[in-house]
Amino acid sequence: MEVIIVDTYDDMSYECYKVVEHLVLNNRNASINTTTGATYDGMFEYLVEAINGYKLDISNTVFSNLDEYISPRDAKFSVYTYMHNKFYNLIKMKPLEIHLIDGSVSKDRIQDEIDRYSKILENNPRDLQILGLGTNAHLGANEPGTAFHQDIFVANSHQSTIESTISYHNLEAEEAPSQMITMGYKEIMEAKTILVAASGKRKAQAVYDMFHADINPETPASILRTHPNVICILDKEAASLLGELK
Ligand code: GLP
């Protein structure tokens, strides 16, 4: 793993932006699968600025997303809402393709939606997979215990994940979503390059575990140590337990 440790959240965001910029400048047909969440708010701001300032041409880039809540599409916490409010509605240039999982389908159509998205992923091998880390080191919505061969599925969120969602989106406990359709490790690990970023003290233990725990499903992010091309960008606080890697 290539590890970059920077001082602040803003430095981390800029380094993440640079990874995307490098890919798009060198491969105008890039396929990028991204996550959402507080970790990447700053990166999306840098991306919007670059695209609207004509520094980055994404007209041939394909964007897709890692996961989506089982919820109405326009719920304030949905991945659909995040991606539109923080990226797609703000950029002047449209990407070649945008793919999002639809978590609003009725229960009896969830398998169809999973099949539809699997085909999209098959047709769009990812050059870059962007990942955040749960406080329990989960990836996407693959919580501890999910088998490493898992492919796209409906996952139940752990309590710590539900609490993070409540706090990030300022939700009442009863409106918090508890299930997501998420890409599994199978599709995540197919990407040529994986970017994983983390910021703040609340991620320090998960970051430590990503590097030092045994590689097994109890620590989802440990699987990243088996991928040949991972870039890990951390701010000082998230890296604070790493000691020897500094
Ligand atoms: C959530 C999402 C992930 C996200 C992660 C980190 O549970 N399902 O896709 O990457 O947690 O979120 P944050 O960046 O807000 O800490």
pLDDT tens-digit profile of 40-50?
999 999 999 99
**Residue 67 appears among annotated catalytic residues:** yes
- Report the first-to-last Cα separation within the chain, whole angstroms: 14
Query: Given its phi and psi angles, is residue 169 left (phi above 0), alpha (psi -120 to 50 degrees) or beta?
Result: alpha
Q: What is the value of pTM for the model shown? A: 0.96
Ligand 1 site-directed mutation target among 164, 165, 180, most atoms within 8 Å of CB: 164
- pLDDT for residue 246: 44
Rounded to whole angstroms, how far apart are CA atoms 137 and 74?
A: 27
Residues of the chain with pLDDT under 50: 246
Which one-letter DSSP state was computed for residue 40? G
Q: Is the CB of 220 under 6 A from ligand 1?
A: no
- pLDDT for residue 243: 77
Q: 202, 176, 159: which is closest to 77 by C-alpha?
A: 176
Question: In residues, how long is the chain?
Answer: 246
Choose, from 68, 143, 187, 235, the residue flagged as catalytic: 143
192-218 pLDDT per residue, tens:
999 999 999 999 999 999 999 999 999
Nearest alpha carbon, ligand 1 atom 7: 161
DSSP run (H or E) holding 4: strand 2-6
Q: Is the CB of 132 under 6 A from ligand 1?
A: yes
- pLDDT for residue 177: 94
Q: Is the CB of 38 under 6 A from ligand 1?
A: yes
Compute the C-alpha angle 209/82/91, nearest 5°: 115
Q: Is the CB of 143 under 6 A from ligand 1?
A: no
Rounded to whole angstroms, how far apart are CA atoms 54 and 123?
A: 28
- The per-residue DSSP string of 51-109 comes to HHTTS---TT-EEEESEEESS-TT-TT-HHHHHIIIIITT-SS--SEEE---TTS-GGG
Ligand 1 site-directed mutation target among 12, 16, 35, most atoms within 8 Å of CB: 35
- pLDDT for residue 245: 52
- pLDDT for residue 31: 98
Q: Is the CB of 161 under 6 A from ligand 1?
A: yes
Q: How far is CA 49 from CA 17, 74, 83, 100, 113, in A?
A: 11, 25, 15, 23, 33
